[in-house]
Structure 1
C-alpha cells in the first residue's frame, strides 16, 4: 500500500505529458487524485483494524503508517481530490482566456503531483532523514507553483518562499542530526535505527535529554518556518497572494499540516524522554500565541483578500500549536480536529477566491462589490466560509477552537485561554471589517454578468461547505476512532 501511495502521483505526473487533449489531461489528473483518495480510505480502514501498516523486506525500516499518518494522509488526499476537481474549472477558464497554454497546464498538473508525492513520502516514512528530504522536496515542487505565472510579483514571491524555507529546513536538518546523535549516545548498539522515529519513541528514555532539547529547538524553528509560525511566517502571505488559487488551497490545506506532522513526531519523542510535556509545551505555546497575535494585527490592515486568508492560516497553525502545547488528551484531540477543519474550510475559501478573481480580475477587496448578487453560490460559500474560519457556530472550526479553549481552562492555562480569546475576537473583527465590504452593495462594473463561471467550481464549494457544517455537528466514527488513536500516539499512551 505504501508503494501505491507513492506510485499514483508519480505516474500521473508523467502521464499528463503524453496527451494533447485538454479534457483527457484534466481527467487523467482527476482519476489519479481519486485513486489516491481511495487508497487513503483503504489505509484508514486497514489501520483501524491492525493499528499500523508495516512494509516488509528491504524498506521495512523506512515506510510505516499508523493512525496519525493515516489521518493526515486522508486529509491530504481528500483536499487534493477536491482541488483537482476545481482545477478543471479554474484552468479551463484560463485556457479559454489564453492566460496559459496547454503546455503550462501540463506543467501545473505535473508539478502538483510531484508536490503531493513529496508530501505523501513525508507522511509514510518513519525515517527522519527521508522525512527531511521529502519536506525539502515539497519546497522545490511548490516554489515553481508559486511562481507559476512567471511575472515579476510571482517570481519574487517564489524566490522569497524558496530562500526562507530552505534556511528553515537547514535548521531542521541540524536538529535531526542532533536527534540522531542523542540516540548514538544512549543506544550505541542500534545506530542504524537512530533515525527511525518509531524506534526512538519506543526507546525515548535512553536518549540523551540535554541534546534532545537542543534538537527540538532546531526542528521547531526549521519545520516551523514551513508551518508559517511567526516570526518565520513572512513567505506565506506573498506566496498565497501570487499562487493560483488551487495551489493556495494545497499550500494552506495540506502543506502546513505536513510540516506540523514532522514537529509532532519529534515532540512525542522529546516528551517521552523527559517524562514531561512542559519543555516542548512552553515553546509551542509561545510560538502559537505569537502567531495568532501577529495574524490578528495584520488581518486588520490587509487590502488583498488572499493575503487575509494567508494570515488566517498563520492564525490557525498557531491554534494547533496551542493545542499541542497544552498536551492533554482533550487539547491534542482538539488540535487534530482543528487540522481537518482548517484544511477543509480554507480550501473552500481559496477556491472561492479563485472564482472571484476569474470574475472580477482583481485581488483587491475594494475592487469586489455585490459578490452575493453577482456570483450567488461563490458569494454565499465565501461569506459562510469567512464566518466558519473565524470560529462561528455551527461550523467545525468553532468546535475545535472551543475544545482548545476548554482544554486551556481545564489545565489552568488561564493566561493562554484569555489571550487566545482576545486574539480570536480581533481576527473576527478584522474579517468583518475587511471582507464584509465584498459581499453586499452593487458593483460598478457593467461588463460583469450575474452567474457562476461554470458548474464545477460551485459543485466543489457545495461539497466543502457540507463537510465544514458536518464537522461542526458530527465526526464520522471511523475518523473519530483514528483521531483517538492518533491522540494516544502523540501522548505516548499505547496507540499505534
Structure 2
C-alpha cells in the first residue's frame, strides 16, 4: 500500500461510489451509512500520508508514475510535497464531516446525492496531487459536474440559476487555463523536440516575459474565478446561499482552495518572470485588497445569515491571494495556513447556519435573537467558530492572518495598512451577527422550544473545534512542513526576477556604483 498510497487515497471515494450504485434506492439508511463509511475510510487511508511524510525533504514524495497517452506525452503522474499534503488532509477531513452532516438534512434522492459527493471527493484529491498538467486539468473540470448537481438538485429556491452561473463561470476560467497549458506544451516541444505535460519538465522552458505574461493572465482568470477574487466573485454568494449545507461547507473549505493552490503551484514557479513583474504584482495585490475590504463591508450589510458568511469568504480569500503575491516566505506560508484555517472556520460557520436552518427553515437574521438562552451549547459552538474566523489569538485564524500581514508589510507597508482594516471589519460583522442572533431577549415565539445540539451535530463540530484550537496554540508543525517547499518557490521567483533584472551591458549609472 505504501508504494501506491496516493492512488489508494485518490480512488477510495470512487470505489465507494461504485459499490453504492448496487444498493437499492429504497435502502435509504444503508445508503447514508455506506457513504459515511466510505468517507471515513477515505480519511483513515490518508493518515499514513501525514505520518510518513518527511518534513526535511522539500521535494515531492510518494510519487507514482505510469504512461497514460504516450503519443501526447500524458502520464498518470501523482505526488505530494508539504503544500499538497495539507490540502489532501483538508479534503479528506472536510469531505468526511460534510457527508456526515448530511445525515438528517437530505431526505430525497439520497443515492444520487452521496454519489455526487464521492465523485467530487475524487476530483478534489486529484487536483492536489497531480504532477501532470493534463491530468490536473481533467480533475479540475471533473469537480464542476458533481457540484453543479449538488446545487441544482438539492439547493434552495433559486438553485438552477445559482448552479448554471457557477458552472458557466468556472468552465470559462477552465477553458482559458487550458489555452495557457497548451501554450506551454507547444513551447516545450519547440525547445526540446518532444511533447510532455509533466509540470517539472515544463519549468525548464525559457519563455520571454511577454509570453509569460500572456500565459499568466490565462491562468489568472481560471484561478481567480475559482478563488474567487474580486471582480470574479459574483457566482459565489448565489452558489453558497442556494447550496445545501454540506455543499456550502465543501465549497468553502476545499473547492475555493483549488484557485489559490493553482497560483502557488503553477503561476509562481512556471511563470516566475511574469509573477514577479511589478505591474502584475501590483494589479493582483490591489484586487486582493479590494476583495478584503469589499467582502467585509458587504457582509456588514447582509440580512441573510448564510449570505453574510458567503461574502466573508471573499474577504478572507483576499488575504490568501495578497499573501501569495507578497512573494516572500511569510506571505506564502501564511496564505497556505490561512487556507486551512478558512476551511475550518468558514466550514464551521456554514454548519452553524445549517443547524438552525434545519430547525426553523429561515436564514433571515431578524428572525432570531436570544438563542443563547434556548440553545446554550449551540451558542458556545457558534462563538468559537465566530472568534476563529475573526482571528482571535490562540485560535487558528490569528496565526494565518498575522503571518500574511507580516509578509505583506515586508513587501509593501501600504498593503498591510489596508489589509488590517479588513481584520477590523471582519471582527465587526461577525460580532454584530453574534449579537443579533445569540444575545438579548428571545423576541420570536417560534424560537422557543428549539432543541439544542444533537449528538451527531456535536460529532461534526468537536473535531473542527479541536483542530482550530490546536493550530492556534501550536502552529509549528504547519510551518515546518511548509518551510522547504515554500522556500523553493520563493527562490525560483526571486532568482529568475534578479537574473532578468541584470542588464547585459552595465549602464553608466550602474558602473559608477
Post-superposition offset of 1:369: 2.0
Q: Which residue is equivalent to 1:234?
A: 234
Q: How many residues align?
A: 477
Match of 2:163 among 141, 147, 158: 158
Match of 1:174 among 175, 179, 184: 179
Q: Which residue is equivalent to 1:65?
A: 79
Q: Which residue is equivalent to 1:189?
A: 193
Following the alignment from structure 2 to structure 1, what is the Cα–Cα distance between the partners of residues 92 and 409?
A: 34
Match of 1:119 among 103, 110, 124: 124
Q: Which residue is equivalent to 1:83?
A: 98
Alpha carbons 1:122, 1:258 under 8 Å: kept: yes
Alpha carbons 1:305, 1:363 under 8 Å: kept: yes
Q: Which residue is equivalent to 2:214?
A: 214
- 1:430 matched to 2:429? The reply is yes
> Structure 1 residues 466, 453: CA separation in 2 closer, same or farther (over 3 Å shift)?
closer
Alpha carbons 2:395, 2:472 under 8 Å: kept: yes
Matches within 5 A, 1:71-470: 71-88=86-103, 90-91=104-105, 94=106, 100-101=107-108, 104-149=109-154, 152-185=157-190, 187-190=191-194, 192-193=195-196, 195-201=197-203, 203-204=204-205, 206-272=206-272, 276=276, 278=278, 281-411=281-411, 413-440=412-439, 441-446=441-446, 448-452=448-452, 454-470=454-470
Following the alignment from structure 1 to structure 2, what is the Cα–Cα distance between the partners of residues 247 and 179?
A: 34
- For residues 85-120 of structure 1, the C-alpha deviation after alignment (integer angstroms, 9 at most, x for no partner) is 2222x43xx5xxxxx32xx11111100111111111
Q: CA RMSD in A?
A: 2.3
Alpha carbons 1:145, 1:247 under 8 Å: kept: yes
Following the alignment from structure 1 to structure 2, what is the Cα–Cα distance between the partners of residues 355 and 430?
A: 20
Following the alignment from structure 1 to structure 2, what is the Cα–Cα distance between the partners of residues 319 and 55?
A: 34
Gaps of 5+ in 1: 95-99
- For residues 21-45 of structure 1, the C-alpha deviation after alignment (integer angstroms, 9 at most, x for no partner) is 3332222222222222223222233
Greater CA deviation, 19-28 or 233-242? 19-28
Q: Which residue is equivalent to 1:3?
A: 7
- 1:32 matched to 2:38? The reply is yes
- TM-score calculated relative to the size of structure 1: 0.90
> Structure 1 residues 65, 283: CA separation in 2 closer, same or farther (over 3 Å shift)?
farther
> Structure 1 residues 237, 296: CA separation in 2 closer, same or farther (over 3 Å shift)?
same
Post-superposition offset of 1:223: 1.9
- For residues 43-98 of structure 1, the C-alpha deviation after alignment (integer angstroms, 9 at most, x for no partner) is 2334427741221332594322121222211111111122222222x43xx5xxxx
Q: Which residue is equivalent to 1:486?
A: 485
SS in 2 for 1:148: helix
> Structure 1 residues 349, 274: CA separation in 2 closer, same or farther (over 3 Å shift)?
closer
SS in 1 for 2:167: helix
Following the alignment from structure 2 to structure 1, what is the Cα–Cα distance between the partners of residues 361 and 8?
A: 40
Alpha carbons 2:78, 2:132 under 8 Å: kept: no
Alpha carbons 1:2, 1:63 under 8 Å: kept: no
Alpha carbons 2:123, 2:143 under 8 Å: kept: yes
Following the alignment from structure 1 to structure 2, what is the Cα–Cα distance between the partners of residues 55 and 334?
A: 29
Alpha carbons 2:323, 2:331 under 8 Å: kept: yes
Q: Which residue is equivalent to 1:97?
A: none
Greater CA deviation, 446-455 or 31-40? 446-455
Following the alignment from structure 1 to structure 2, what is the Cα–Cα distance between the partners of residues 55 and 423?
A: 42
SS in 1 for 2:143: helix
Gaps of 5+ in 2: 69-73, 494-513
SS in 1 for 2:392: coil
Post-superposition offset of 1:155: 1.4
